[in-house]
Amino acid sequence: MPSAQNPWNVSKIKHVYRRLGFSASQDTVDLALPMSPGQFIDSLVDAAFALPPTAAPPWGYWALGDFTDYETENEQFIFDWRIQAGNDFMTEDLRGRLTSFWMNHFVTELEVYFYAPYLFQYYNTVQTHALGNFKTFVHDIGISNAMLLYLNGYENTNVNPNENYARELYELFTLGEGNGYSQTDIIETSRALTGYNHWTEFGGQIYFDVSTHDTGLKSIFGQDGNWGYSDVIDILFQEHGLDVCKFICTKLYKYFVSPSVDALIIQDIIEPLAQTMVANNYELVPVLKQLFKSEHFFDERAIGVVIKSPFDTIFGFVNETEFFYDTSIMDAFLYYSGLMGQEIFNPPDVAGWQRDEEWINTSTLTGRWELMELYVTYLFGNGYELTLTDLAKALTNNSNDPYYITQVLVDHFVPKQLYTITDYDIATDIFKWDVPQNYYDNGTWNLDWSTAPYQVTLLLNHIARMPEFQLK
């Protein structure tokens, strides 16, 4: 935890906001300065826990028969919900962050089921449990309509078993590949999960009926019985509760703290975290608080080590600048994020986005640059150019020193001061643009000049191409 040697400062607060949320404005960051680090973390976790899920839209529980013009309406609702989720992620701090995280853990791919009501219901389940009880989460997400379709639970019957969900439940959602389960466990589990194959109308709630349930004896993790769905979850946690917690805590650590895990970290941080999770009967709030208050989280070595996702890149930028955006701009954000490999609601496969360095290759990187350039140029050309200079003025107390302005703006967006100091000079040259040097020397130039918005545009585009800008 921050102390005299490792002080509590703006850099640490930004670190918290970038990891726990999608960053924050300077004003929001300043508000946290007088708090103690522990208080601050608690307040963020508690606020996220208390936040009710996003209200259901009118169509949230519709069945097919409730639509008037299904094709058009379904597409429109899905579009609307994309925007809603984008806004939620960006504005809900830790709850938005965790919703995004869990949707990449309990993966479904919208393009497989493509049905707005099921999308809302899945999203609602994730939001509801994001800081709740993990065991309940596992139970509820498996019978979410979207999941039943995505991993073929809906087709898994006593006469025709389908192994898909059983496998991914263990391999990806709770234990990890090959960790404590066998192919037999998978087969027996898929038998126990049968029965959720019924709906009263197309696109309605999928429910359980014993007629398609395999009522026979199953042997799962060495336990024999006429197991059903809830039994599977109970047995899993009963026999492998600690393993599940270790698996989840490792994921949380890698996502929130650092992608690099070694034996010491497992011993010092992850195993105690897993113990806490077991001791609290799988509640997530105590685990999250312990993780975010751990020595590692605030250590200098944890800062700047996570490569931003496309969402991080653009949502973080918007929060840090409070620049204008509306629905069509949010739509562009989501569209470009998709081009860069993060299509909202559509991870590439059931293992989710692998993140970290896999976000970045020569193609996705140029995509990020293009999106940033597009957004900033849009603001410049559509009547928001003064908000660009307003930001520079606010952060620098209306300085007219181009080097100082450049340095403050750069440092506002990167996790650590640039390692190669001459990079600030390069950025300053770009910021100075074509304005002759004498106007800087004699103090005539300032941020109210008509050229200033364009200069800020050039600088922001340049910052967006800095390697450091992709780190948080």
Partner 1 sequence: MCKNHNFKKKEATKDQKLIHDQEHAEWSRRSFIQALGLAGGGSIMLGNAAVTASKPSPLSVALAESETDRIMVIIRLKGGNDGLNTIVPIYDYATYANLRPTIRHQQSELTNLNADFAIPNYMSSLEAMWGEGQMKVVHGVGYPQQNLSHFRSSDIWASAADTVIEPTGWWGRYYEHLYPDYLINPPEVPPAIQIGSIGNLVFEGQETNYAFSVANPQQLESVAQNGQIHDLLDIPECVYGDKLFFMRSTTNTTFTYAGVINDAYMNSTNQATYSDEDLASQMSIVARMIKGGLGTKVYMVTLGSFDTHANQPDEHRALLEDLSDTLQSFYTDLEAAEMQNDVLCMTISEFGRRPYENGSNGTDHGAASPVLLFGPGLNGNGFVGTHPDLLTWDSHDNLIPTADFRSVYSSVLTNWFCLDPTVIDLILLNENYPELDLGINCDSLSNTDFGNVTTFIHAPVYKNNRVYIEMNMTNTSHIDLKLYDIMGKELGTLKNEVLFPGVHSIDVKAALGSRLSFGQYIYRISMGGQFYSKSLLIK
Q: Can you tell me which of 9, 226, 230, 366 binds partner 1, judged by CB under 8 A?
A: 366
Name residues contacting partner 1, limited to 18-77 (CB under 8 A): none
Q: Which residue lies nearer to partner 1 by CB, 221 or 369?
A: 369
- The yes or no reply on residue 203 touching partner 1 (CB under 8 A) is no
- The yes or no reply on residue 12 touching partner 1 (CB under 8 A) is no
Q: Can you tell me which of 419, 441, 442, 443 binds partner 1, judged by CB under 8 A?
A: 419
Question: What does the alpha-carbon distance between residue 152 and residue 162 come to, in Å, rounded to a whole number?
Answer: 7
- The yes or no reply on residue 242 touching partner 1 (CB under 8 A) is no
From residue 211 to residue 230, the character string flagging contacts with partner 1 as x (rule: CB under 8 A) and all else as - is --------------------
Q: Are 78 and 110 in contact (CB under 8 A)?
A: yes
Crossing angle of helices 37-50 and 93-103, in 10° steps, is 70
- Token pair recorded at residue 336: 């470009």
Instruction: Write down how long the chain is.
Output: 472
- Token pair recorded at residue 457: 């545009």
Q: Can you tell me which of 132, 304, 338, 352 binds partner 1, judged by CB under 8 A?
A: 304
Q: Which residue lies nearer to partner 1 by CB, 81 or 154?
A: 154
- The yes or no reply on residue 429 touching partner 1 (CB under 8 A) is no
- The yes or no reply on residue 10 touching partner 1 (CB under 8 A) is no
Question: What does the alpha-carbon distance between residue 167 and residue 244 come to, in Å, rounded to a whole number?
Answer: 15
Q: Can you tell me which of 75, 209, 268, 425 binds partner 1, judged by CB under 8 A?
A: 268
- The yes or no reply on residue 160 touching partner 1 (CB under 8 A) is yes
- The yes or no reply on residue 338 touching partner 1 (CB under 8 A) is no
CB of 184 to partner 1, least distance (A): 10
Q: Are 165 and 190 in contact (CB under 8 A)?
A: yes
How many chain residues are in contact with partner 1, going by CB under 8 A? 62
- The yes or no reply on residue 303 touching partner 1 (CB under 8 A) is yes
- The yes or no reply on residue 254 touching partner 1 (CB under 8 A) is no
Q: Are 263 and 250 in contact (CB under 8 A)?
A: no
CB of 261 to partner 1, least distance (A): 8
Q: Can you tell me which of 15, 167, 218, 432 binds partner 1, judged by CB under 8 A?
A: 167
CB of 209 to partner 1, least distance (A): 16
CB of 171 to partner 1, least distance (A): 6
CB of 222 to partner 1, least distance (A): 19
Question: What does the alpha-carbon distance between residue 165 and residue 350 come to, in Å, rounded to a whole number?
Answer: 10
DSSP string, 162-175: --HHHHHIIIIIIS
Q: Can you tell me which of 67, 208, 324, 369 binds partner 1, judged by CB under 8 A?
A: 369
Q: Can you tell me which of 23, 258, 321, 428 binds partner 1, judged by CB under 8 A?
A: 258
- The yes or no reply on residue 468 touching partner 1 (CB under 8 A) is yes
Q: Which residue lies nearer to partner 1 by CB, 66 or 109?
A: 109
Q: Are 334 and 82 in contact (CB under 8 A)?
A: yes
Q: What is the CA radius of gyration of the chain?
A: 25
Stretch that binds partner 1, among 9-17, 129-137, 292-300, 450-458 (CB under 8 A): 292-300
Binding site residues, partner 1, CB under 8 A: 3, 5-6, 152, 155-157, 159-164, 167, 171, 177-178, 183, 258-260, 262-264, 267-268, 295-296, 299-307, 341, 349, 351, 354, 357-358, 360-367, 369-370, 416, 419-420, 426, 465, 467-468, 470-471
